[in-house]
Chains A and B, each alone.
Chain A
Amino acid sequence: MTPTPDTQHLTPDEIELWAQGLLPAARDVHLAQCAECRQTAERERKLLRELAQLPRFAPEFGFVERVMAKVKIPTPSGGFKS
Protein backbone atom coordinates (compact mmCIF):
# COMPACT_ATOMS: atom_id res chain seq x y z
CA MET A 1 0.00 0.00 0.00
CA THR A 2 1.41 3.40 -1.00
CA PRO A 3 1.79 5.80 1.96
CA THR A 4 -0.41 8.91 1.78
CA PRO A 5 1.71 11.98 0.99
CA ASP A 6 1.88 14.52 3.85
CA THR A 7 0.26 17.59 2.29
CA GLN A 8 -0.15 19.65 5.45
CA HIS A 9 2.13 22.70 5.32
CA LEU A 10 4.49 23.40 8.21
CA THR A 11 3.12 25.70 10.92
CA PRO A 12 5.20 28.70 12.06
CA ASP A 13 6.09 26.73 15.22
CA GLU A 14 7.30 23.81 13.10
CA ILE A 15 9.33 26.12 10.90
CA GLU A 16 11.03 27.52 14.01
CA LEU A 17 11.72 23.96 15.19
CA TRP A 18 13.21 23.12 11.80
CA ALA A 19 15.43 26.21 11.91
CA GLN A 20 16.71 24.97 15.28
CA GLY A 21 17.23 21.45 13.91
CA LEU A 22 14.43 20.07 16.10
CA LEU A 23 11.69 19.23 13.59
CA PRO A 24 10.40 15.63 13.99
CA ALA A 25 11.53 13.39 11.13
CA ALA A 26 7.94 12.70 10.05
CA ARG A 27 7.44 16.38 9.19
CA ASP A 28 10.85 16.57 7.52
CA VAL A 29 9.35 14.34 4.84
CA HIS A 30 6.81 17.01 3.96
CA LEU A 31 9.53 19.64 3.84
CA ALA A 32 11.51 17.54 1.38
CA GLN A 33 8.45 17.32 -0.88
CA CYS A 34 7.08 20.87 -0.61
CA ALA A 35 8.93 23.68 -2.40
CA GLU A 36 6.70 26.33 -0.80
CA CYS A 37 7.51 25.19 2.75
CA ARG A 38 11.21 24.87 1.89
CA GLN A 39 11.32 28.44 0.62
CA THR A 40 9.52 29.79 3.70
CA ALA A 41 11.70 27.73 6.02
CA GLU A 42 14.93 28.91 4.38
CA ARG A 43 13.88 32.55 4.65
CA GLU A 44 12.89 31.97 8.28
CA ARG A 45 16.22 30.35 9.10
CA LYS A 46 18.07 33.30 7.57
CA LEU A 47 15.97 35.76 9.58
CA LEU A 48 16.44 33.89 12.87
CA ARG A 49 20.18 33.76 12.25
CA GLU A 50 20.30 37.52 11.63
CA LEU A 51 18.29 38.20 14.78
CA ALA A 52 20.49 35.94 16.88
CA GLN A 53 23.59 37.76 15.63
CA LEU A 54 22.38 41.22 16.64
CA PRO A 55 24.88 42.81 19.01
CA ARG A 56 24.19 43.95 22.54
CA PHE A 57 24.85 47.62 23.13
CA ALA A 58 26.42 49.14 26.22
CA PRO A 59 25.28 52.33 27.95
CA GLU A 60 27.79 55.16 28.37
CA PHE A 61 30.75 54.58 30.69
CA GLY A 62 29.88 55.11 34.37
CA PHE A 63 26.33 53.78 34.11
CA VAL A 64 26.65 51.64 37.26
CA GLU A 65 27.81 54.64 39.31
CA ARG A 66 24.99 56.81 37.99
CA VAL A 67 22.45 54.17 39.00
CA MET A 68 24.01 53.52 42.41
CA ALA A 69 23.99 57.26 43.20
CA LYS A 70 20.20 57.19 43.03
CA VAL A 71 19.48 53.87 44.75
CA LYS A 72 18.41 53.73 48.39
CA ILE A 73 20.46 50.97 49.98
CA PRO A 74 18.88 49.63 53.17
CA THR A 75 21.13 49.52 56.28
CA PRO A 76 20.98 46.88 59.05
CA SER A 77 19.40 49.52 61.37
CA GLY A 78 16.41 49.75 59.02
CA GLY A 79 17.32 53.12 57.44
CA PHE A 80 18.83 53.86 54.06
CA LYS A 81 22.27 54.93 52.97
CA SER A 82 22.75 56.79 49.69
Chain B
Amino acid sequence: MAWAKRGHDPAFRELVRRYERPVFSLLYRMVRDRTLAEDLAQETFIKVLNAIGTYNPQYKFSSWIFKIANNAAIDHLRKREIDTLSLDGSPHARTPDEMSATALQLGDRGESPLQQVESRELGGAIERAIAQLRPEYRACILLRHVEGHSYEEIAEILDLPLGTVKTYIHRARNELRGYLQDRKE
Protein backbone atom coordinates (compact mmCIF):
# COMPACT_ATOMS: atom_id res chain seq x y z
CA MET B 1 0.00 0.00 0.00
CA ALA B 2 2.85 2.39 0.84
CA TRP B 3 4.38 1.75 -2.59
CA ALA B 4 1.02 2.34 -4.25
CA LYS B 5 0.62 5.64 -2.37
CA ARG B 6 3.96 6.75 -3.85
CA GLY B 7 2.65 5.91 -7.31
CA HIS B 8 4.64 2.73 -7.85
CA ASP B 9 3.24 1.20 -11.05
CA PRO B 10 3.66 -2.52 -10.08
CA ALA B 11 1.99 -1.82 -6.73
CA PHE B 12 -1.02 -0.32 -8.57
CA ARG B 13 -1.22 -3.41 -10.75
CA GLU B 14 -1.01 -5.68 -7.72
CA LEU B 15 -3.89 -3.85 -6.06
CA VAL B 16 -6.04 -4.24 -9.17
CA ARG B 17 -5.17 -7.93 -9.45
CA ARG B 18 -5.93 -8.55 -5.78
CA TYR B 19 -9.33 -6.88 -5.82
CA GLU B 20 -10.58 -7.28 -9.40
CA ARG B 21 -12.54 -10.48 -8.70
CA PRO B 22 -14.27 -9.46 -5.45
CA VAL B 23 -15.10 -5.99 -6.79
CA PHE B 24 -16.28 -7.27 -10.16
CA SER B 25 -18.34 -10.05 -8.51
CA LEU B 26 -20.13 -7.59 -6.23
CA LEU B 27 -20.90 -5.26 -9.12
CA TYR B 28 -21.97 -8.09 -11.43
CA ARG B 29 -24.43 -9.39 -8.85
CA MET B 30 -25.69 -5.87 -8.21
CA VAL B 31 -26.36 -4.93 -11.85
CA ARG B 32 -26.57 -8.43 -13.47
CA ASP B 33 -24.88 -7.29 -16.68
CA ARG B 34 -21.29 -8.31 -17.40
CA THR B 35 -20.36 -5.39 -19.63
CA LEU B 36 -21.86 -2.83 -17.30
CA ALA B 37 -20.27 -4.46 -14.24
CA GLU B 38 -16.88 -4.29 -15.94
CA ASP B 39 -17.38 -0.60 -16.78
CA LEU B 40 -18.33 0.12 -13.17
CA ALA B 41 -15.37 -1.93 -11.89
CA GLN B 42 -13.01 0.05 -14.14
CA GLU B 43 -14.54 3.30 -12.91
CA THR B 44 -14.06 2.10 -9.31
CA PHE B 45 -10.38 1.22 -9.73
CA ILE B 46 -9.60 4.41 -11.63
CA LYS B 47 -11.21 6.50 -8.87
CA VAL B 48 -9.38 4.56 -6.16
CA LEU B 49 -5.96 4.66 -7.79
CA ASN B 50 -6.21 8.32 -8.79
CA ALA B 51 -7.13 9.18 -5.20
CA ILE B 52 -4.73 6.77 -3.51
CA GLY B 53 -2.85 9.66 -1.91
CA THR B 54 -5.94 10.50 0.13
CA TYR B 55 -6.39 6.93 1.46
CA ASN B 56 -6.56 6.88 5.25
CA PRO B 57 -4.85 3.68 6.52
CA GLN B 58 -6.97 3.90 9.68
CA TYR B 59 -9.65 2.16 7.58
CA LYS B 60 -9.37 -1.16 5.77
CA PHE B 61 -8.43 -0.70 2.13
CA SER B 62 -11.06 -3.26 1.12
CA SER B 63 -13.75 -1.19 2.90
CA TRP B 64 -12.71 1.88 0.91
CA ILE B 65 -12.73 0.13 -2.45
CA PHE B 66 -16.07 -1.63 -1.78
CA LYS B 67 -17.58 1.70 -0.69
CA ILE B 68 -16.65 3.26 -4.04
CA ALA B 69 -17.82 0.18 -5.97
CA ASN B 70 -21.14 0.02 -4.14
CA ASN B 71 -21.76 3.74 -4.66
CA ALA B 72 -21.13 3.27 -8.38
CA ALA B 73 -23.64 0.41 -8.51
CA ILE B 74 -26.31 2.19 -6.47
CA ASP B 75 -25.91 5.40 -8.51
CA HIS B 76 -26.34 3.40 -11.68
CA LEU B 77 -29.37 1.51 -10.40
CA ARG B 78 -31.03 4.72 -9.26
CA LYS B 79 -30.39 6.42 -12.59
CA ARG B 80 -31.66 3.54 -14.65
CA GLU B 81 -34.26 2.43 -12.15
CA ILE B 82 -33.62 -1.16 -13.10
CA ASP B 83 -33.93 -2.01 -9.41
CA THR B 84 -37.69 -1.70 -9.88
CA LEU B 85 -37.63 -4.47 -12.45
CA SER B 86 -37.49 -7.84 -10.77
CA LEU B 87 -37.31 -11.28 -12.32
CA ASP B 88 -41.06 -11.47 -11.87
CA GLY B 89 -41.65 -8.18 -13.63
CA SER B 90 -42.29 -4.60 -12.63
CA PRO B 91 -43.93 -4.10 -9.24
CA HIS B 92 -46.25 -1.69 -11.05
CA ALA B 93 -47.58 -4.48 -13.26
CA ARG B 94 -51.20 -5.26 -12.41
CA THR B 95 -51.99 -8.24 -14.61
CA PRO B 96 -50.12 -11.47 -15.42
CA ASP B 97 -49.59 -10.17 -18.98
CA GLU B 98 -48.02 -6.96 -17.71
CA MET B 99 -45.82 -8.93 -15.31
CA SER B 100 -44.69 -11.21 -18.12
CA ALA B 101 -44.00 -8.28 -20.45
CA THR B 102 -41.78 -6.54 -17.89
CA ALA B 103 -40.02 -9.59 -16.43
CA LEU B 104 -36.28 -9.99 -16.89
CA GLN B 105 -35.70 -12.83 -19.31
CA LEU B 106 -32.98 -15.33 -18.54
CA GLY B 107 -32.13 -18.28 -20.69
CA ASP B 108 -34.36 -17.30 -23.59
CA ARG B 109 -33.68 -18.60 -27.06
CA GLY B 110 -31.94 -16.16 -29.32
CA GLU B 111 -29.82 -14.61 -26.61
CA SER B 112 -26.31 -13.42 -27.45
CA PRO B 113 -23.24 -15.43 -26.35
CA LEU B 114 -22.67 -12.89 -23.57
CA GLN B 115 -26.27 -13.23 -22.39
CA GLN B 116 -25.84 -17.00 -22.42
CA VAL B 117 -22.81 -16.62 -20.15
CA GLU B 118 -24.84 -14.37 -17.84
CA SER B 119 -27.71 -16.89 -17.78
CA ARG B 120 -25.31 -19.66 -16.86
CA GLU B 121 -23.50 -17.63 -14.22
CA LEU B 122 -26.50 -15.93 -12.61
CA GLY B 123 -29.31 -18.35 -13.44
CA GLY B 124 -29.15 -20.59 -10.36
CA ALA B 125 -31.87 -20.48 -7.69
CA ILE B 126 -29.77 -18.64 -5.13
CA GLU B 127 -28.55 -16.06 -7.67
CA ARG B 128 -32.11 -15.43 -8.85
CA ALA B 129 -33.24 -15.05 -5.26
CA ILE B 130 -30.46 -12.50 -4.59
CA ALA B 131 -31.55 -10.61 -7.71
CA GLN B 132 -35.01 -10.17 -6.22
CA LEU B 133 -33.71 -8.35 -3.13
CA ARG B 134 -33.81 -4.56 -3.13
CA PRO B 135 -30.33 -3.18 -3.90
CA GLU B 136 -29.52 -2.11 -0.31
CA TYR B 137 -30.35 -5.60 1.00
CA ARG B 138 -28.44 -7.19 -1.88
CA ALA B 139 -25.29 -5.16 -1.10
CA CYS B 140 -25.51 -6.06 2.60
CA ILE B 141 -26.00 -9.77 2.03
CA LEU B 142 -23.18 -9.97 -0.54
CA LEU B 143 -20.73 -8.04 1.64
CA ARG B 144 -21.61 -10.13 4.70
CA HIS B 145 -22.02 -13.65 3.39
CA VAL B 146 -20.03 -13.71 0.16
CA GLU B 147 -17.18 -11.30 0.97
CA GLY B 148 -17.14 -12.05 4.71
CA HIS B 149 -17.15 -8.46 6.03
CA SER B 150 -18.18 -7.80 9.62
CA TYR B 151 -21.34 -5.86 10.40
CA GLU B 152 -19.19 -2.90 11.49
CA GLU B 153 -17.25 -2.90 8.20
CA ILE B 154 -20.49 -3.04 6.21
CA ALA B 155 -21.85 -0.07 8.17
CA GLU B 156 -18.70 1.82 7.21
CA ILE B 157 -18.84 0.75 3.56
CA LEU B 158 -22.50 1.62 3.13
CA ASP B 159 -22.53 4.67 5.41
CA LEU B 160 -25.37 3.18 7.43
CA PRO B 161 -25.93 2.84 11.19
CA LEU B 162 -24.93 -0.56 12.55
CA GLY B 163 -28.50 -1.33 13.59
CA THR B 164 -29.76 -0.66 10.07
CA VAL B 165 -27.17 -3.00 8.61
CA LYS B 166 -28.25 -5.78 10.99
CA THR B 167 -31.91 -5.19 10.16
CA TYR B 168 -31.22 -5.22 6.40
CA ILE B 169 -29.24 -8.45 6.65
CA HIS B 170 -31.87 -10.21 8.76
CA ARG B 171 -34.66 -9.09 6.43
CA ALA B 172 -32.63 -10.09 3.38
CA ARG B 173 -32.02 -13.56 4.80
CA ASN B 174 -35.73 -13.95 5.59
CA GLU B 175 -36.61 -12.94 2.04
CA LEU B 176 -34.02 -15.29 0.56
CA ARG B 177 -35.30 -18.21 2.63
CA GLY B 178 -38.81 -17.34 1.46
CA TYR B 179 -37.85 -17.21 -2.22
CA LEU B 180 -35.95 -20.47 -2.00
CA GLN B 181 -38.78 -22.15 -0.10
CA ASP B 182 -41.41 -20.94 -2.62
CA ARG B 183 -39.33 -22.35 -5.44
CA LYS B 184 -39.44 -25.82 -3.89
CA GLU B 185 -43.18 -25.79 -3.19
Q: Say whether A75 contacts B141, CB under 8 Å.
A: no
Q: Say whether A56 contacts B180, CB under 8 Å.
A: no
How far does the alpha carbon of A58 sit from the alpha carbon of B146 in the complex, in Å? 15
**Which of B6, B21, B46, B126 lies in contact with A51, CB distance below 8 A?**
B126
**Which of B12, B25, B53, B141 lies in contact with A71, CB distance below 8 A?**
B12
Which stretch in B87-95, B101-109, B170-178 binds the other chain? B170-178
Q: Which A residues are within 8 Å of any B CB, using their own CB?
A: 12-13, 43-44, 47-48, 50-52, 54-60, 63-64, 66-68, 70-75
How far does the alpha carbon of A68 sit from the alpha carbon of B48 in the complex, in Å? 12
Which stretch in B37-45, B55-63, B65-73, B154-162 binds the other chain? B37-45
Q: How many residues of B contact A (CB 8 A)?
A: 36
Listed residue (A44, A54, A72) with the most chain B CB atoms within 10 angstroms of its CB: A54
Q: Say whether A64 contacts B17, CB under 8 Å.
A: yes
Q: Say whether A58 contacts B181, CB under 8 Å.
A: no
Q: Say whether A73 contacts B7, CB under 8 Å.
A: yes
Q: Say whether B141 contacts A51, CB under 8 Å.
A: yes
**Which of B16, B53, B146, B170 lies in contact with A63, CB distance below 8 A?**
B16
Listed residue (A12, A44, A64, A67) with the most chain B CB atoms within 10 angstroms of its CB: A67
How far does the alpha carbon of A6 sit from the alpha carbon of B108 in the complex, in Å? 52
**Which of A47, A52, A58, A60 lies in contact with B177, CB distance below 8 A?**
A47
Known: A50-B126, A57-B28, A63-B38. A71 touches B173 (CB 8 A): no
B24 at interface, CB cutoff 8 A: yes
